[in-house]
A and B are shown apart, each in its own frame.
Chain A
């Protein structure tokens, strides 16, 4: 497999690599990690690991990169989304769409 050099700049995920079908899974995996909030050095390191793992493999199945990525240690670097619960309800007598009363 052709080796790729991944832009580790912090500002964007734009990767002009889509013209290389063989690289598509890796491109997607990298972009996915960046979109998931993984810092670019960690994402690039994960790519290197994936690339070495698939060095001798043929064309990747679309699902393979996903499973491999989920098994990689970088998976836990994704940003955790935290939603604070709204305040506890008051004494609620009315249904969803009742009048103020």
Chain B
């Protein structure tokens, strides 16, 4: 088998050269900008507060400058037809197409997700894979960590219904852990311990992921061609954005993403990061070397690793395997958080996880590239706190200049006076360079789209793309200070050891006004106080503070406005913020959209499991067969009586879970509740069922006799 390594020049030498060039550009530009900033400061860095300002400026400028150089490099590579070292370009297409496949598990870990959406994505992926004719090499595993019985009972039904529809019994499996120890990594680990030996590869999907069959097949073929690669990560495109917030993120990712991703992949090469989903992993090395350590420090650095994916990639690289990012594989999709509130809730988890990577920064044996990945992840959120401190330092510097008399001889024996000096020319140059660094990648991405007629049409035509870029920049500018303050708060909370809850994402709800005002009130108050103080100090400083203060003052209306479906969909109808996946959706996304339109059931999971005959039969089969101890029998009898008399509302989640995991209890409840008189809680539920048209299953659909079967 030909390996990537044997094809032409080894990638490591090229990686060293590219990274040296990148670092030279970065250090050079940050040094120049730091020098300019020193000139801008009134005492040119001679006072302690100015040293703080200068240091923070350099760190923050390095962050945005790194993105600039990566995007610029990506632009250059794309103009030249892509990176010749990328896996897809190094292996001839014909050779790749002729490559056979190997047993592959597609994992779908879920935790309290929106069931209809999650299974619609899985269904679309399955159908797309079936259409390739290569389904025989793949098996699907829905790995649930859901704890609320109302949710996991509904998951089971959705899974069974999906298997019925697709004829996929025996190919799509459902497994729920009763103890979700170590969260998602523990869930994957549980799969590996049980079934890992059966598969050479596993593709990990997220609850909102969709992948085409062609992409899955291509991933496995690439892995078959490159045995030294442990993880091959795709670059998922954002889809299905409906709120204004999500549409702005989706448009931004669609327009600017290709530049950044190609640049990033070209710098990382075989030492890329793993993003936790929409990637294929080689099972054997992952089982052997991907074991996550338990952190044994204090506070933040104690317990499970939350952002596990970066660490897993670093561990596998340490063991000698390669990790590649391949942005050229089409057909990999995920969704953006619909609202700012959801995005920040996710970021809160990520902040803690990324800060934990401090523990791995100087870990033994990790590659320099993965140390940089850790650092980048830390700085992604750490920079928010630095920005906040930077603003505080600038405010302090201004206050000192305005309120205190100028001290010309701060030290008694100075031979010459020290006075503040303002250099507006340097300040103007610095602002111009900063704007260039921030906006040139966006302009290059816009140019690229305008140059490519097909992509330009798919994004609504030149005027709409240009207007959409303006909208995206405006919204990004408004969101930047709000995100900064939230991230800074999260960083501080993580460092002092505040707990972070683990919950499924909201993918549907808009942000209510009251909740937004309450959530944003501290930031609004802080911004009002700050800008009021700035006004009192100096009008020019007040004007300087406005780009940060105004978004914070109006954070609640911004958050609510961006969460609105109507606003997002209105822009879509006008062709603004349009992406190629919306104007020319591939088949897999059309199927996903059709499946999303199918409404959910009115009865929730537990009443369905008790009441509906087919649901009851299904859950009885899937319930655990447990030894009937006297204590257990006693508890079952008590709960069955309480539930049948007082309805499902009388039970706690734990009690519902106990009954739903007990086949005998489910059978007894089923018989009892159908005999309840009309006025009782169950009687009312039965009436609701009878009065509501319930889609009936095809009676002849599954009268097959294989596997476990259960009479009602």
Contacts and interface: CB of A to CB of B under 8 A. Distances in A.
Chains A and B bind each other: yes
Interface of A: 10-16, 18, 21, 24, 27-28, 31-32, 34-39, 62-63, 66, 77-87, 89-101
A27 B698 CA distance: 21
Given A63-B675, A82-B704, A101-B291, A35 B196 contact: no
Interface string B652-682: 0000000000000000000100111110000
Given A13-B694, A81-B618, A82-B169, A32 B193 contact: no
Nearest to A38: B699
A90 B179 contact: no
14 contacts: A10-B696, A14-B693, A18-B678, A36-B614, A37-B697, A78-B613, A82-B706, A90-B197, A95-B193, A96-B178, A96-B190, A100-B193, A100-B290, A100-B291
Given A31-B689, A100-B287, A86 B175 contact: yes
Given A81-B702, A86-B173, A99-B291, A66 B690 contact: no
Contacts of B709: 80-83
A97 B188 CA distance: 10
Nearest to A82: B709
A83 B179 contact: no
B196 A90 contact: yes
B292 A14 contact: no
B632 interface: no
Given A13-B696, A100-B287, A81 B179 contact: no
A93 B160 CA distance: 29
A1 B150 CA distance: 40
A91 B691 CA distance: 51
Given A32-B613, A99-B291, A85 B696 contact: no
B689 A80 contact: no
A23 to B, nearest CB: 12
B158 to A, nearest CB: 14
Nearest to B711: A80
Nearest to B163: A84
Interface string B683-703: 000110111111011110111
Nearest to A24: B678
B292 A99 contact: yes
Given A13-B693, A84-B708, 9 more contacts: A14-B691, A37-B614, A78-B712, A83-B169, A84-B706, A86-B175, A97-B190, A99-B182, A100-B185
Contacts of B288: 101
Nearest to B611: A35
Chain B interface size band reads 35 or more
Residue picked from B175, B177, B196, most chain A C-beta under 10 Å? B196
Contacts of A99: 182, 185-186, 189, 291-292
Contacts of A92: 193-194
B692 A94 contact: no
How would you classify the secondary structure of chain A's contact residues: helix, strand, loop or mixed?
Answer: loop
A11 B693 contact: yes
A21 B678 contact: yes
Contacts of B290: 100
A62 B672 CA distance: 10
B5 interface: no
B195 interface: yes
B535 to A, nearest CB: 57
Contact of B691 (A18, A83, A97): A18
A37 B675 CA distance: 20
A62 B678 contact: no
Contact of B617 (A10, A81, A89, A91): A81
Nearest to A91: B197
B181 interface: yes
A35 B710 contact: no
Contacts of B160: 81, 83
A92 B169 CA distance: 24
Contacts of B703: 79-80
A85 B163 CA distance: 13
A98 B189 contact: yes
A27 to B, nearest CB: 7
Contact of A31 (B173, B190, B196, B690): B690
B179 A28 contact: no
Contacts of A81: 160, 614, 617-618, 621, 702, 709-710, 712
Contacts of B291: 99-101
A8 B518 CA distance: 55
A98 B177 CA distance: 12
Contacts of B412: none
Given A24-B678, A80-B709, A93 B614 contact: no
Given A96-B190, A100-B290, A82 B705 contact: yes
B192 A80 contact: no
B198 interface: yes
B707 A82 contact: yes
Contacts of B189: 94, 97-101
A85 B339 CA distance: 40
A98 B191 CA distance: 10
A10 B689 CA distance: 16
Contacts of B394: none
A97 B614 contact: no
A4 to B, nearest CB: 13
B148 interface: no
Contact of B689 (A13, A87, A94, A95): A13
Contact of B618 (A14, A63, A83): A83
Nearest to B290: A100
B591 to A, nearest CB: 24
B286 interface: yes
B687 A18 contact: yes
Contact of A97 (B179, B192, B677, B697): B179
Contacts of A34: 696
B613 A36 contact: yes
Given A34-B696, A100-B192, A15 B622 contact: no
Interface in B137-191: 139, 160, 163, 169-170, 173, 175, 177-182, 185-186, 188-190
Given A37-B697, A86-B173, A98 B702 contact: no
A85 to B, nearest CB: 5
Given A34-B696, A99-B182, A89 B707 contact: no
Contact of A87 (B139, B677, B686): B139
B694 A12 contact: yes
Contact of A80 (B287, B687, B694, B702): B702
Given A31-B689, A87-B195, A79 B707 contact: no
Contacts of A93: 193
B473 interface: no
Contacts of A97: 177, 179-182, 186, 189-190
Given A13-B694, A35-B614, A101-B287, A66 B674 contact: yes
